Amino acid sequence: MKQKILTLLLGILLTSFLSAHAQILETVSWEFTTEKLSDTELNLVFKAQIDKEWHLYSQNFEDGGPVRLSFTFEESENYERIGEVEEITKAKKTFDEIFEMDIEYFEHEAILKQKIKLLSNTAFTVVGEMEYQTCREGECVLFTPDFEFAINEGQSNQVDETPVKAKKEKINAMKNPRKEYASLWSLFFIAFTFGLIALLTPCVFPMIPMTVSFFMHSSENRRKAIFNAIFYGVSIIGIYTIIGTIVAITLGADFANWLSTHWIPNVIFFAIFFVFAFSFFGMFEITMPSWLVNKSVAKEDQGGFAGSFFMAFTLVLVSFSCTGPIVGSILVQSAGGEILEPIVGMFGFSLAFALPFTLFAIFPSWLNNLPKSGGWLNSVKVVLGFLELALGLKFLSIADQTYHWGILDREVYLGIWIVIFTLMGFYLLGKLKFSHDSDLKYISVPRLMLAICSFSFVVYMIPGMFGAPLKAISGYLPPQTTQDFDISAIVRDQSGAGFKDAKSEICETPKYADKLHLPHGLQGYFDFEQGLACAKEQNKPVFIDFTGHGCVNCREMEANVWSDARVQKVLREDYVIIALYVDDKQKLPEEDWITSTYDGKVKKTLGKKYADFQITRFGVNAQPYYVLLDHDENTLVESRAYDLNADRFLEFLENGKKEFAKR
């Protein structure tokens, strides 16, 4: 019996040991090679293989979000760096709703290069350290590995001269095709929808009967007329798609990055949207040069395929004043340095745009059932003008956030949107009228429905003026940190959750509290020893939050689970909270440095100290990670990671309380 019990205990211990060590995640494997450029220059090549489902954050986005990839080189008399580390692999760009900012990341593989100039003919080694963060759904891990390049005289054994183009092709082949196709299909359908909307503009809709008339009289041969009509539609698609192809090939990724982040293009786009909005309101007309349109119209008289092509070209030119901002929006949204995205976007738009013209050209009798153009088309144009005003603000907001001008804080931006959509609602109801509007004798049901949608959207936005997150449109709004008046924070401070009750939650002023903070007005510590001492003094269990400034999943847990009133009550009253930031860069005094028993390195910053603490004590290196301890630093219950179920998290805290009471 004793032998069976001993075997069982050993099995449990072995299983615990293996499971703990299995949680030390190594999500990226690196290869360091060199690439000869000349007798005195070469590239240091960093090649990363990234595990499936994980992504590695890039170098090229602003501070305040996830931990960016960075490189630190030890100084040497044998070489000098030329420029900074260059990303050969194009990083993906997306808007992160948690950090409310644009971020960039790699998937599957990443190649980066650092050019150096050789100052010595002897063999030497380039050494340094990287820091980077990888994340997947529910987990983030911070790494700080060393790198080393052996530079030998002549470079004969260290040269990796694989062409960059071949490497890029390999990267593209390794991309997740399902995600790429899903993204392209999504772009296609959005662009297709824009194409349908463009048909309702006053510059385009009246040209449908003109098109039908042209093809009815251009040929007595019905079969030939149908072929000409099909060629006409294909020409429209071709003209628009060629525009997207030229943008993609000639401008590329660097231009797209400049286009999306620099203040100059964003202010220009803002101005263009406003100019088109004023035109839609009837202030003036935007037209293409008459000589260009007339020259195209003259070519239509040639008939046949040539006439069909120039009819299509004329349509594109004449409709530009209404389709210009829509086409521009597609190109701005799709231009990310990829060849396919602008092409797919323009193809989707032009397909929807060309389809009705082609069908009406083939079946001219359908024209009898088409609504006559008139006042309703002008109403569509004015509504588009209001939307142009609202969407144009996004470009000015990007420049404002990037350069910290302070022009469009969140409540200012929301205030303008509230006014715009309120005026649009009144216009739809006929209470607001422009000089070129027809008299509105009654309100149609579709118009009433649109007015209801506009006013409902206004009602939804109003709480945002007082700090409501407005998650549905957060991607279009400035960050909530720019909000001057946040009533939720004021209420929290005036209630039992604020600073007034802080003394009951903590024993003394926390170290690092000038730079580190807990969410929702909670009070706690950022130093393990100080927090543990307070827990002993107050006779409470310890709640350790392994977190990071750049941990997206940590912010999701705080926003969705810690925000629960029940969870906050338990954390506030029954635990001493210790938040340990594994990516914090604060330098520690020399007496607080530690030498890791895991990798043997000296940890000199607060973040590295507690990243090592998490690994050596709990066998885990991913965040978020939550541990409940007693005063002897023993775990109370099984620790938890990312889980957005507030009920399960509350149960975790309650079970920890019960176990602490037993001990």
Range 447-475 average pLDDT? 86
How many whole angstroms separate alpha carbon 410 and alpha carbon 403?
15
Residue 286 Cα distances to 283, 294, 373, angstroms: 10, 16, 20
The amino acid present at 76, given as its one-letter code, is: S
Residue 265 Cα distances to 111, 282, 385, angstroms: 29, 26, 21
| 426 pLDDT higher than 90 | yes
State the pLDDT at residue 423. Answer: 96
How many whole angstroms separate alpha carbon 531 and alpha carbon 544?
9
Of the given ranges (282-291, 484-493, 498-507, 537-546), which has the lowest mean pLDDT? 498-507
State the pLDDT at residue 23. Answer: 57
The amino acid present at 437, given as its one-letter code, is: D
Instruction: Give per-residue pLDDT as tens, 144-176.
Output: 888 989 887 544 333 333 333 333 343 343 344
Q: What is the CATH number of domain 505-662?
A: 3.40.30.10
Instruction: Classify residue 232 as exposed, middle or buried by CB count within 10 Å of its CB (0-12, 13-18, 19+).
Output: buried
State the pLDDT at residue 473. Answer: 75
Q: Give 33 or 163, the one with higher predicted confidence.
A: 33
Q: Give 308 or 368, the one with higher predicted confidence.
A: 308
State the pLDDT at residue 66. Answer: 86
- Residue 364 · residue 212 · CB < 8 Å: yes
Could you give the angle at which helices 290-300 and 304-318 cross, rounded to 10 degrees?
150
Q: Give 144 or 495, the one with higher predicted confidence.
A: 144
Residue 658 Cα distances to 103, 544, 620, angstroms: 42, 17, 25
Tokens read off for 601? 């390195």
| 565 pLDDT higher than 60 | yes
Q: What are phi and psi of 404, to 5 degrees?
A: 55, 45
How many whole angstroms separate alpha carbon 361 and alpha carbon 207?
11
State the pLDDT at residue 531. Answer: 94
How many whole angstroms separate alpha carbon 267 and alpha carbon 271?
6
Q: What are phi and psi of 65, to 5 degrees?
A: -120, -145
The SS3 of residue 76 is: coil
Q: Give 340 or 83, the one with higher predicted confidence.
A: 83
Instruction: Give per-residue pLDDT as tens, 185-202.
Output: 877 888 788 778 777 664
State the pLDDT at residue 143. Answer: 87
* 3-state SS, one letter per residue, for 531-559: HHHHHHHHCCCEEEEEECCCCHHHHHHHH
Of the given ranges (320-324, 364-368, 496-500, 608-612), which has the lowest mean pLDDT? 496-500
| 631 pLDDT higher than 60 | yes
- Residue 391 · residue 416 · CB < 8 Å: no
Range 477-496 average pLDDT? 65
The SS3 of residue 74 is: coil
Going by C-alpha positions, the residue among 150, 114, 142, 146 that lies closest to residue 129 is: 146
Range 269-296 average pLDDT? 67
Percent over 70 (pLDDT), the chain = 69
**To the nearest whole number, what is the mean pLDDT of the chain?**
76
Chain position carrying tokens 């649109």:
450
Instruction: Give per-residue pLDDT as tens, 96-115.
Output: 777 777 889 999 899 999 99
Instruction: Classify residue 127 as exposed, middle or buried by CB count within 10 Å of its CB (0-12, 13-18, 19+).
Output: middle
| 11 pLDDT higher than 50 | no
Hey, where are the domains in the chain? 28-175, 176-370, 371-485, 505-662
User: Between 2.60.40.1250, 3.40.50.720, 2.60.120.430, 2.40.50.140, what CATH number should domain 28-175 receive?
Assistant: 2.60.40.1250
Of the given ranges (234-238, 456-460, 603-607), which has the lowest mean pLDDT? 234-238
Q: What are phi and psi of 110, to 5 degrees?
A: -145, 140
State the pLDDT at residue 337. Answer: 47
First to last CA, the chain: 28
How many whole angstroms separate alpha carbon 457 and alpha carbon 390?
13
Q: Give 120 or 152, the one with higher predicted confidence.
A: 120
Range 131-155 average pLDDT? 80
State the pLDDT at residue 593. Answer: 92
Highest averaged pLDDT of the listed ranges 133-137, 173-177, 309-313, 331-335 = 133-137
Q: Do domains 28-175 and 505-662 have the same CATH topology?
A: no
Of the given ranges (13-27, 186-200, 274-288, 546-560), which has the lowest mean pLDDT? 13-27
| 519 pLDDT higher than 60 | yes
Instruction: Give per-residue pLDDT as tens, 348-362.
Output: 877 887 787 777 767
Q: Give 218 or 224, the one with higher predicted confidence.
A: 224
